């Protein structure tokens, strides 16, 4: 089974650490992807990081809505 939650980040993103901590609290396995490694992702998401992806679709950005994410994960 693939990872359902992916956090899009960039080095030096001050909100990304808060998002990492929130995802750890949610308890679902998650992966992190630095958008600076992909020009298309950088163009699309570069000005509003971090971005939380759920099942390949944007779930939110700038902060993790923990209750909503848990609900959408089926917990």
Kindly list the domain boundaries of the chain, sorted by start residue.
Answer: 5-73
Strands 5-9 and 51-54: antiparallel
Specify the pLDDT at position 46. 86
11 alpha-carbon distance from chain centroid: 14
**H or E stretch at 30:** strand 30-34
The CATH topology of domain 5-73 is Glutaredoxin (3.40.30)
Note if the pTM is more than 0.85.
yes
- pLDDT tens per residue, the chain (75 residues)? 579 999 999 999 999 999 999 999 999 999 999 999 999 999 999 889 999 999 999 999 999 999 999 999 998
pLDDT at 1: 57
Distance of alpha carbon 22 from alpha carbon 63, whole angstroms: 8
């Amino acid at each position: 089974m693939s990872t359902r939650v992916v956090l899009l980040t960039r080095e030096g993103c001050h909100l990304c650490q808060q998002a990492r901590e929130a995802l750890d609290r949610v308890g679902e396995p998650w992966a992190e992807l630095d958008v600076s490694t992909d020009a298309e992702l950088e163009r699309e998401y570069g000005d509003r990081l971090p971005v939380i992806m759920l099942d390949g679709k944007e779930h939110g950005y700038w902060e993790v809505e923990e209750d909503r994410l848990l609900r959408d994960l089926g917990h």
